Structure 1
Amino acid sequence: MPEISLFRGIRVTMYYTDNNPPHFHAEYGGYKCLVDIVSGCVLNGSLPARQLKLILAWNELHRDELMQNWELAKENRELNQITPL
């Protein structure tokens, strides 16, 4: 599971074997969630309110890069690092 960003204690990863909809994984402490890239909605899991606000803002800023990484993952290619918030 490649790490594509790490900021303020939040680790962001993508799996090569994940299925649609396009999403990423965010972890903070013992919390984990899946975030839909296009809608910016949490698909599963949870984060504390402050970290959730940060990850959703980061998703908004980097949506195009996240979608590019999603496509790279589907092709089993190396993912790009994305600038932290």
Structure 2
Amino acid sequence: MSTIEGLGGIVLAYELLVPRLGRSHSAERTSVSLMPEIARFYGIVIRMFLIDREHPPRHIHIKYGDHVAVMELQNLNIIEGQIPKRCRQLVREWAEAHQQELIEMWDSQNFHRIEPLD
């Protein structure tokens, strides 16, 4: 994965996700995209890709160490990838607290930081 960090959590990235995430994210892996970092807590990074608006369902991307996953926002289920159970529980707890805000962010594409889990 190649990334260039910069500008308040916005990351200019290419090959954004490792191939294990499947075909639906091939556009992210092969093109340059902006990926705002929405939150970071306990070593977990939550991002939402600008181009995701074009391919439902609404979702967030989770990175924890070498683990990556995608969580859909309606039912808060992991739909791609794998993360450790405790990480999944923490992200779900955080996402439940901010679910409506995350859905509105997806729909509006107006990205901003969200408070991390305490």
TM-score, normalised by the number of residues in structure 2: 0.66
Q: 2:78 aligns with which of 30, 39, 42?
A: 42
Structure 2 residue runs of 5 or longer lacking an equivalent are 1-34
**Helix, strand or coil at the partner of 1:83:** coil
Q: Write the distance in 2 (CA, Å) between the matches of 1:27 and 1:72.
A: 23
Matched, 1:32 2:32: no
Q: Which residue of 2 aligns with 1:9?
A: 43
Cα offset for 1:72? 2.4
Q: What is the identity percentage for the equivalent residue pairs of Structure 1 and Structure 2?
A: 33
Cα offset for 1:80? 1.4
The code of the aligned residue for 2:38 comes to I
After TM superposition, which residue ranges in structure 1, 4 or more long, deviate above 3 angstroms? none
Structure 1 residue runs of 5 or longer lacking an equivalent are none
Q: 1:22 aligns with which of 52, 58, 63?
A: 58
- What is the aligned-residue RMSD (CA, Å)? 0.9
**Larger RCO (CA within 8 A; separation ≥ 6):** 1
